Structure formats: structure tokens, C-alpha cells
Amino acid sequence: TSLAISVWKEGRRDLWIYSSDAKPLRRVTMDAAIDRDPQWSKDGKTLFFSSDRTGVPNIYAIDLETERLWQVTNVLTGAVNPSPHPSGTYIAFQKYSQDGWEVHQMPLDENNWIDRGLLPRPIRYRLPLAVVEYTPPATALETDILIAARQWFDDDPSDYPLSFSFSFLEEG
């Protein structure tokens, strides 16, 4: 099992991939944007998330094989909390409107996505995303969360996240 985590660290909120034993495998994003709400596609080839990198939160996707970044939504009011359908044909998310946050869904048509280029490789934790090993969890989700949290906080206190959100990728 690999965890996609949104971590506040070094003055930035970026996406990371951690092993289920709380070891960082790869820093995925490294920029001034607030990147959060990571969610794996069912096949594990795409990581969806929300980001304010254009000034307004929208939904983005990272192709893990090519490390190309795609803007999936282009709303003017904000889109967060992506939830791709297991079929891979559509995605649900929260969209802000004059009435507040509402649940929306739209088809996942890659022809309509905006190409935002390749992700930069960080100097540290630069393992290619395509070779991050995804293995099924050995125990219940709650146990994995507790083990990861316990091991994470047993490490150096300077690495403590102020907040994080995560998504497990399970094969099979």
C-alpha cells in the first residue's frame, strides 16, 4: 500500500507519496500552490488532487508514468475534493457557487484537460513516480493509518505535519 498525502512542510502544502510504514518515497509537488485532497484512480495510474496553482482551486491529475500535470476542471469559483469513479468515466467533486459548496460530477474526458507540463523532480525524494511500488495492504485500513501515524511521529519532530489528507491505493 502507498499513501498519497497532502503535507504542510517547509512552508508549503504539497503532495507526497509515503509507504504504509510511513517512509517518504517521493515528493510529488513542490511549489507555492496549496495542493490537497489526493485521490488515486482505481488503476493507480493517475493521482487526482485539488490545487490553487492558478489562483482558484481546481481539480488536477498527474499521470504517474509520464509525470505530466493536467488541469481537469477550469471553474472560476473553486473545485475541491475530487472523487474519481472506479470505472474511470467520470469524477465527482465539490464546486463553490453562490449557494456555497455543492457536489458536481463530470465526465473524465482527457481531451478536455489542460496540459500544465511536466512535474519538476525534487533533489531529495526524487524516485520516479512510475516505479513507486503499489502493493495491497496486509491489514485493515484503520490499522494501516494507526501504524503510519505512530511511526511518523516517532521520527524527527521537525517532520511533523501540521495537517494532512491521504488516499490509499489498493491493488486488486
pLDDT digits (tens, 9 = 90+) for 55-93: 999 999 999 999 999 999 999 999 999 999 999 999 999
pTM over 0.75: yes
Q: Which range scores top for mean pLDDT: 19-28, 43-52, 134-143?
A: 43-52
DSSP E strand stretches across 119-169: 164-169
pLDDT digits (tens, 9 = 90+) for 124-133: 766 777 766 5
Q: Phi/psi at 147 (nearest 5 deg)?
A: -65, -45
DSSP per-residue string spanning 96-118: EETTEEEEEEEE--GGGPEEEEE
